[in-house]
Structure 1
């Protein structure tokens, strides 16, 4: 009987924590990457978490990981990129419910009148009222032989298709979506300066001027300082320019990570020692650089829990989508019990 009992204990789920990954708390007309959560739904999520889980900071989680003392039913909350709505919408809700969060911030767009490159590209290709029919030289130094045919003008039907497209799970439903995804794949591995050069070429081709939309702006420097001085919340490294790190040499990766760390520490006056990899993209060079630089932990976008045996430089997170309360409750229960 004792043998059977011990055998049953061995099959009990290992105690683990779930790290939730948010990006934006905003109501958007288009969200092709599913990174925005409606403010009302976000508050419902926080109410549910407050009732059903033990919410700790990422800093506390990494300390528990070091002691192998992670407890069941534990949740940590994170945000990536540094959109201004993190400060204006998410922070007041988090503060009201006394829930800690860690904000992983990219420094390049802080206080700048520019959108993150993927937002600007989406706006140009999917939502311009008119585009040229041909785009044989839309990228500098590259030939993209493409004909938009009947999609030169943005019809109501085309607009609706674009607004409802889920690029994470669905094939491109229109020629414009095909073009967007092609360009997105081309731009993603490039360093920031090259991305901006290509965006300027795309902008000129489309007859657009650079104009950052208010709803797509990132934090101001002052907002970053206030967020960083919060007793409840923490700031983490998300690189200077949000590159896909694994496409680049170790020296480039080191510059991106340490440059971001220096910028954030100057803004907040605090030691910044947590990292989230942009796009969840990393390789062995990345983890080596992070370890050598003295960071305490690093997070991916891999949907897996954090256990007492997790690699602290490959910690998983679960992306939270714009789900209704009952849907989020079911998802959360699954994550906590997985």
Structure 2
């Protein structure tokens, strides 16, 4: 009762207090390189808690209700970004077990065997048999890999150096890194088109997330618009229906996307778009800059307190 009262105070309904959660992956078992990544049991526990404390709605319905001022108290929506295969293989059965809706934002260019560049970095660090990765010829330093802790350190060190490079240069360096690591990289990390259809057939919503997951703010406007438009069209062709929602890649307002990208999303016929800015909308929400947050905490009390705190933070916008 105390938890519900606290959350109702922060999220009284009407036009206030929509909590939108972001997930990326739900692993079948723990990954020693990413012990904080949610696994199936933790995700199931979180969904049970969320269902017992919140009114969980499909995102599109929640946005429409917020516009009308008719949100129920403790309103929440669940979203996934990128299009990982474990969304269909692991997360979907849990969502169905708890009878909860979710929206999956899919980067269309990685379906059917594709791989995001950051996952290439993760997997080459994970899989290389060498005890050191000397990437000094690429200007990326030398990284010892003798222990799990050293591999955990190498991954963000490499990703941080590559993240904001121009896309072509980044891809070229990642390919050269993979050659240095001398290991086979997986081709089953992302969903197939059949898995995307299975999510939709199960009653889940599918949203667009561009084709290649670029940082829109680093692209010429024409190229950014093409990424957004073609990602939408690819999913609409796949599903045979309109794709109404969009997620900005990376999603930080003013850094990863800019006001012109908000205008593009609106002009291309989306009905709403989500960022990765923490916080909650106050008053009538901006449907093209809906804030979301990642529930990192595994402890039950901390999880609830994180949800409550998020509702008190004003959402950032581009």
Report the TM-score, using the length of structure 2 for normalisation. Answer: 0.84
Measured at CA, do residues 257 and 307 of structure 1 come closer, stay the same or move farther in structure 2, by a change above 3 Å?
same
1:313/1:185 Cα in 2 relative to 1: closer, same or farther (>3 Å)? farther
Offset of residue 228 of structure 1: 2.1
Contact 1:23/1:81 (<8 A) preserved: yes
Q: Does 1:66 align with 2:42?
A: no
1:55 aligns with 2:31: no
1:30 equivalent to 2:33? Answer yes
Deviation at 1:187, TM superposition (A): 4.0
The whole-number CA distance in structure 1 between the counterparts of 2:217 and 2:263 is 12
Query: What is the correspondence of 1:70-109 to structure 2 with a 5 Å cutoff?
Result: 70-109=71-110
Task: For residue 254 of structure 1, give the secondary structure of its aligned residue in structure 2.
Answer: helix
Counterpart of 2:200 in structure 1 is 228
Contact map agreement 1:17 1:306 (CA 8 A) in 2: yes
**Runs of 5+ in structure 2 lacking a partner?**
1-11, 314-318
How many pairs does the alignment contain?
295
SS of aligned partner of 2:236: helix
Q: Which residue of structure 2 lines up, in the alignment, with residue 169 of structure 1?
A: none
Deviations 1:112-139 (A, max 9, x none): 1x4321121123246633166643432x
* Shift, 1:188, TM fit: 3.9
Deviation at 1:89, TM superposition (A): 1.0
The equivalent residue for 1:256 is 227
Q: State how far apart, in whole Å, the 1-side matches of 2:210 and 2:220 are.
A: 14
| Counterpart-to-counterpart distance in 1, 2:26 and 2:275 | 20
Give the Å deviation of 1:207.
2.8
1:116 has 2:116 as partner: yes
Following superposition, the deviation at residue 69 of structure 1 comes to 2.9
After TM superposition, the structure 1 stretch with the greater mean CA deviation from structure 2, 12-21 or 115-124, is 12-21
Root-mean-square deviation (Å) = 2.5
Rounded Cα–Cα distance in structure 1 between residues aligned with 2:201 and 2:33: 33
Structure 2 CA distance for partners of 1:98 and 1:133, relative to 1, 3 Å: closer
Matched residue of 1:24: which SS? coil
Map 1:277-296; keep pairs closer than 5 Å. Answer: 277-280=248-251, 281-296=256-271
Question: 1:306: Cα distance to partner?
Answer: 2.9
Higher-Rg member (1/2) = 1
- In structure 2, which of residues 203, 210, 213 is the aligned counterpart of residue 239 of structure 1? 210
**Which of 145, 149, 156 pairs up with 1:160?**
149
Separation of aligned partners in 1, 2:312 and 2:108: 36
Q: Is structure 2 residue 162 aligned with structure 1 residue 186? A: yes
Corresponding residue of 1:128: 128
The DSSP-based 3-state class of the residue aligned with 1:15 is coil
SS in 1 for 2:213: coil
1:66 Cα deviation after fit = 2.5
Distance 2:140 2:171 in 1: 21
Equivalents in 2 of 1:145, 1:117: separation in Å? 15
Question: 1:135 and 1:93, CA in 2 relative to 1: closer, same or farther beyond 3 A?
Answer: closer
Once the two structures are TM-superposed, the CA of residue 85 in structure 1 deviates from its matched residue by: 0.8
Mapped to 1, the partners of 2:176 and 2:186 lie a distance apart of 17
The 1:219/1:182 distance shift into structure 2, 3 A limit, reads closer
Structure 1 runs, 4 residues or longer, greater than 4 Å off: 131-134
> What secondary structure is seen at the aligned counterpart in 2 of 1:129?
coil
Q: Tell me, what secondary structure is at the counterpart of 1:78?
A: strand
Query: The residue matched to 1:307 in structure 2 has which SS?
Result: coil
| 1:212 corresponds to 2:186 | yes
Greater relative CO, 1 or 2 (CA 8 Å, sep 6+): 1
